[in-house]
Every structure is written in C-alpha cells, then in structure tokens.
Amino acid sequence: MDFSAPHMGFVISSYAITFVVLGALALWIFARARSVTRRLKQLDDEGARRRPTSGQVET
Amino acid sequence: MSSIERFANPTRFMRLQTTVQPWVWIITLALFGVGLFLGLTRAPADYQQGETVRIMYVHVPAAWSALMVYTVMAVASIIGIVFRHPLADIAAKAAAPIGAAFCFLALATGSLWGKPMWGTWWVWDARLTSMFVLLLLYLGYMAIWQAIDDPRRASRIAAIVAIVGFINVPIVKFSVDWWYSLHQPASVFRTDGPTIHPSILTPLLIMGLAYSFLFLALHLIAIRSEIGTRRIRQTELARTGALQ
C-alpha cells in the first residue's frame, strides 16, 4: 500500500472508523454480558428463585 | 425431536455457546488477519481508483453483513411467530444492534469512498437511500424493544416490523439495477459470475467471511446476555411478588 498516494486520508479514515465502531460494539456487548453474569450470580448467592408465569416458557 | 425443539431450551443453548465461542473467536481473528493482510499488502491498487479501492474491504463486507443480519432478524421473527420458539425473538433482538453498527459502517465508509470518487459525500439515490432506510429500520426495531416493557408484547410488535421491513432488503440489493444510481452495479453476486479479478476478489470474500464470523461471535454473547436479562427480570419480579 502506497501511503503517499492521493486520497489516503479517506482510506485511513475508513479503516479507523471501522476499528472504532466495531471495537466499541464489542466492548459494549462484553460489558453487558459481564454485568448480567454478575447480577445473576448475586441473585443466586442471595437464594432468589425464578418463577415463570403460567403459559410462559421459562427462559 | 426436531432440531428447532432441541435448541428451544435456553440452558442447552448456553452450554453449546460456551463450547463453540472460543472457536468462533479464533476463526474470526484468523479471517480478519488473512483478509487484512491480503487486502492491504497483496491486492493491487485499482487502475482508476488507485489506493482508495482498499476502502472496499471494509465497506462491502459491512453492507453485506447489514443485509445478512436483517435477514437473520426477519427469519428469527417468523420462527418466533409461527413456532413460538423461545430463543427466536431473543436472537432477533440480540442481532439488531450488531446489524445497525454494520449498516452505519456501510454508510460511513461509503461516504468516505464517495467523496474522492464521486466528488460528493452523499446523494439521495436509490442504493444510498434504501441503505439509509435499512438503518432507520434497525433503529426503529430497537426503539420498539426499549419503549415496551412487556417482552412478549414487544417481541410481537418488533417481529412484525422486522418481517414487514424485510421488503427493503431486496430493494437495497436490486436498487442499482432498477433505478439510475451513482453506485456501481453488483460485481460479485451476479448470475454470470463475479467481474472482479481474483487478486481483489479473494481478500474481499475473506473479509466478508470475517464480518460474518464476527457477527456470529458477538451474536452468541448478546443472546446469552439477553437470556440472562430475562432470568434477572423473572427473578426480581418473583421476589417482589409481582407474579402473584
């Protein structure tokens, strides 16, 4: 790749925005997963139990 | 027991996800490594566009993935409505932010490619406008889930939006054939085969696979989180006596 070629700023910006958006998306999904796991463990430690409503499939 | 019924159990899904997840990440990272290496160092510059053609390796897979993820959402929504599969609406909901991110990237990188090649950041032509409509559909779908507290009611309304909105997917795909557009016509998925030289096509297809596996990796985690969120909701409702 020739970094001195015309319009390289557009190429670099495209890869940068892709990296930032996909990185932020992954971080958000990881953070949410961690927060959910922590809360489930906390509820489990407290002995809380789930009870689905009638006719509702338990998830 | 059909495969749909077999994987209807979220606990079984979570066991499967734990086993599969590391392998999906390994394949994703390997595909990105190979795709970026070939696309940035081995593929030639275009004789007309020069180095800007390399934007294609992030722009086109993002656009393909945005369409693929919306298709996944629509199919999951149909399965949710027809078969009452308990994971279907979870899968559709978990896919939406990922698809929205891909769609945003397709528009943003397309704009960055359009400025030096077309002389403009944006035109309201059929391809760009239908892609923008796809982003609005993603945002609308996510807004429905945020606005309605009852997950069962939200899932029904969101599923209808996803299924009706699917009409936009073929419009995006064929917009360059049906209407005049600044955007180039299809050059990979054509009935008479790709019109791109293999030296450029190979990294493009590898990057397409990389985006698909990235979606799978993130989607599996997002589904797991959504299952957990619903368990938390049920537990907290049971604890406060709201289910009595």
Question: B244 in a domain, yes or no?
Answer: no
Task: Give the separation between CA B219 and CA B213, rounded to whole angstroms.
Answer: 9
Q: What is the pTM of this model?
A: 0.91
- Of B133-142, B165-174, B230-239, the range with the lowest mean pLDDT is B230-239
Angle at B18 between CA B16 and CA B21, to 5 degrees: 100
The per-residue pLDDT of chain B, averaged, comes to: 92
Average pLDDT over residues A27-43: 96
Q: How far apart are CA A28 and CA A23, in angstroms?
A: 9
Q: How far apart are CA B64 and CA B204, in angstroms?
A: 11
Cα–Cα dist B226/B44, whole Å: 43
Residue B72 belongs to a domain: yes
* Residue B148 maps to a domain: yes
Q: Does the distance separating the beta carbons of A50 and B51 come in below 8 Å?
A: no
Q: Is position B4 within any domain?
A: no
* Residues of the domain holding B161: 23-183+204-230
- Is the CB of A26 less than 8 angstroms away from the CB of B218? yes
State whether the Cα torsion B147-B152-B153-B159 is positive or negative: positive
Mean pLDDT score, B62-81: 97
Domain annotation covers residue B241: no
| Domain annotation covers residue B215 | yes
Establish if A54 touches chain B: CB-CB under 8 angstroms: no
Token pair of B228 as six digits: 């957990």
B80 found inside a domain: yes
Q: How many Cα atoms occupy the beta-carbon half-sphere of B212 within 13 Å?
A: 13
Whether A1 and chain B come into contact, CB under 8 Å, resolves to yes
Interchain contact, A40 vs B232, CB within 8 Å: yes
Token pair listed for B178: 């049906």
Output the pLDDT for position B185.
79
Digit-coded pLDDT (tens) for B185-226: 777 777 788 778 899 999 999 999 999 999 999 999 999 999
Residue B107, number of CB atoms within 10 A of its CB: 20
Nearest to B221 by CA among B66, B3, B22, B75: B22
Q: What is residue B54's predicted lDDT score, i.e. its pLDDT?
A: 97
Residue position matching structure tokens 């996803």: B162
Domain count, chain B: 1
Contact call for A36 and B229, based on CB within 8 A: yes
Distance in Å, alpha carbon of A4 to nearest chain B alpha carbon:
10
Q: Is residue B138 predicted with pLDDT exceeding 60?
A: yes
pLDDT at res. B1: 47
Residue B100 has pLDDT above 80, yes or no: yes
Average pLDDT over residues A3-32: 96
Q: Answer whether residue B11 shows pLDDT above 90.
A: no
Q: What ranges make up the beta strands (E) of chain B?
A: none
Residue type for position B78? I
- CB atoms inside a 10 Å sphere around CB B209: 17
Q: Which residues of A touch B222 (CB under 8 A)?
A: 29, 32-33
Closest by Cβ to B52, choosing from A7, A18, A21: A7
CA-closest candidate to residue A33, choices A45, A21, A41, A23: A41
Whole-angstrom distance, CA of residue B244 vs CA of residue B242: 6
Measured between alpha carbons, how far is residue B163 from residues A29, B128, B135, B156, B226 in Å? Answer: 25, 21, 15, 11, 21
User: Does any domain span residue B238?
Assistant: no
Q: How many CB atoms lie within 10 A of CB B18?
A: 11
Percent of chain B with pLDDT over 90: 75
Higher confidence at residue B164 or residue B47?
B164
Model confidence at B151, in pLDDT bands (50, 70, 90)?
A: confident
Q: How far apart are CA A17 and CA B106, in angstroms?
A: 11
Q: The CATH number of the domain where B66 resides is what?
A: 1.20.120
Query: Residue B2's pLDDT is what?
Result: 57
The pLDDT, as a whole number, for residue A33 is 97
Q: What is the 3-state secondary structure (H, E, C) of A4-43?
A: CCCCHHHHHHHHHHHHHHHHHHHHHHHHHHHHHHHHHHHH
